[in-house]
Amino acid sequence: MVGGGIVGLAVAYFLARAGVGVTLLERGALGREASWAAAGYLSFQGSSNKPGPRLELTRASFEMYEGWVREIGELTPADTGFWRCGLLEIALSGAEAAEAQARAAWQRKAGYAVEWLDAAAVRSREPGLGAELPVHGALLFPGVAQVRPPRMLRALAEATRRRGVQIREQAPVAGIVREGDRVTGVVLAGGETIAAPVVVNAAGSWASQLAPEMAVMPVKPMKGTVVLLEVATPPTRELLVSERGSIYPRTDNKVAVGATVEDVGYDKEVRLGSVRTLVNQALAVLPELTDARVAGSWAGLRPYSHDNLPYLGPVPGLRGAYAATGHYRSGILLAPITGVLLTEMILQKPPTLPLEPLAVARAARSEG
Ligand SMILES: Cc1cc2nc3c(=O)[nH]c(=O)nc-3n(C[C@H](O)[C@H](O)[C@H](O)COP(=O)(O)OP(=O)(O)OC[C@H]3O[C@@H](n4cnc5c(N)ncnc54)[C@H](O)[C@@H]3O)c2cc1C
């Protein structure tokens, strides 16, 4: 396994649970890249999910999450921060309200929990909302949950070790070792070779660089900046999401505001312009946050995929190599289904979901 973010850890976890011996190699410290930086909310009901493969994938993972967290809890006392907090998605125009109501209708028909609230109901539920905010109503998703990514990663890493996975940090993989077109292992930057009949590439925003054959996946970094605030009393219970910014209340009087989407290459520095954008958004949604203490800010690199689906499966031209990357904005949510699907593929078991839409080479095929 190459990469110790949530995706590499999840695939290692499920492989080990199925009895496969796994060594996980992480270039730096475990879980310190995109996975650590994430807001950590878990939802499959947003506007980007129409009926189709993405909805099926995100819904399957969402439905697995609570059970997975419970299973992790049986292996380690470490807390994941899992919390079913609910989410209020606020419509700020007539067009957004119409789309939201249409979505509520088909989602209710499909049996998903969702409720439409008119503007007056939204304002009485969330009295702190900015007076200038053009609230046209909101969708309430009571089942939406969140984890605290740094805690989730600590707990998952511990559970993965307990399952018998060997985890090596400060172990940068420099390349794939092969005989003909078959993988036989990897070589570390220091020259050490590690033999393995199967190599899974879960290297996040760096995945396309691992071997020439991996370049068929156009994964690139998409920066996200978050600001963390501390408040005397929580300004809202639910997650508040709108086109003017998203606010993620935590259980310990912390509130995360974010995240930006910045196409700026591998820059992970927190820039003043990004912080200004987030601060303006937070104050427009909840003006009382003006008294909040700034507790911190950070940025991470989401592994972007060209069609908002991850690349999961065998790497063409390199037998024994698999990819598990490109989870873009949903890698925390998609971790368990990714672990299950990769395990099924590697053990040649029937897949839980159709794999074709997730195929590694689909970007090249769609270009014709
Ligand atoms: C600001 C922000 C907010 C987000 N919010 C959410 C959210 O609310 N919900 C959600 O589901 N998702 C969210 N995401 C997306 C989510 O964080 C990512 O999709 C997910 O973390 C990707 O996980 P990963 O393991 O593929 O990548 P990473 O966490 O980046 O891990 C990849 C790992 O591979 C290692 N690596 C790279 N190259 C090598 C090599 N050659 N050898 C060894 N190791 C290597 C890296 O060091 C890294 O640790 C957010 C992301 C950001 C940045």
Q: What is the pLDDT of residue 363?
A: 86
Q: For the chain, what is the mean pLDDT?
A: 96
Calculate how far, in angstroms, residue 96's C-alpha sits from the geometric centre of ligand 1.
Answer: 30
109-118, 190-199, 229-238, 270-279: range with lowest mean pLDDT: 229-238
Which range marks the domain in which residue 133 is found? 87-142
> Which DSSP string do the residues of 217-285 spell out, in sequence order?
S--EEEEEEEEEEE-SS-S-SSEEEETTEEEEE-SSSEEEEE---B--TT--PPPHHHHHHHHHHHHHH
Residues 102 and 75 in one domain: no
Q: Give the chain's domain count.
A: 3
For residue 62, give every residue at least 6 positions away whose Cβ sits within 8 Å of its Cβ, in sequence order, or none: 42, 43, 44, 333
Q: What is the pLDDT of residue 286?
A: 96
Residues 283 and 356 in one domain: no
Please tell me the distance from the alpha carbon of residue 366 to that of residue 305, in angstroms, as a whole number.
Answer: 13
Residue 39 maps to a domain: yes
Residue range 288-335, pLDDT digits in tens: 999 999 999 999 999 999 999 999 999 999 999 999 999 999 999 999
Residues 200 and 265 in one domain: no
Residues 273 and 334 in one domain: no
Point out the ligand 1 atom lying closest to the alpha carbon of residue 300: 53
Residues 286 and 228 in one domain: yes
Residue 1 maps to a domain: no
Q: What is the pLDDT of residue 364?
A: 81
pLDDT band, residue 367 (cuts 50/70/90): low
Q: Ligand 1 test: best mutation among 302, 309, 311, 334, most atoms within 8 Å of CB?
A: 302
Q: Ligand 1 test: best mutation among 35, 205, 240, most atoms within 8 Å of CB?
A: 35
Residue range 26-59, pLDDT digits in tens: 999 999 999 999 999 999 998 878 899 999 999 9
Residues 48 and 94 in one domain: no
For residue 251, give every residue at least 6 positions away whose Cβ sits within 8 Å of its Cβ, in sequence order, or none: 81, 83
Average pLDDT over every residue of 149-172 = 98
Q: What is the pLDDT of residue 93?
A: 97
* Model confidence, pTM: 0.97
Calculate how far, in angstroms, residue 127's C-alpha sits from the geometric centre of ligand 1.
Answer: 35
Residue 204 near residue 301, CB atoms below 8 Å: yes
Calculate how far, in angstroms, residue 201's C-alpha sits from the geometric centre of ligand 1.
Answer: 13
Residues 326 and 354 in one domain: yes
- From the number of C-beta atoms within 10 Å of its C-beta (0-12, 13-18, 19+), residue 266 rates as exposed
Residue range 250-277, pLDDT digits in tens: 988 999 998 999 999 999 999 999 999 9
Q: b or e along 199-218 (b: 16 or more beta carbons within 10 Å of the residue's beta carbon)? A: bbbbbbbbbbebbebbebbe
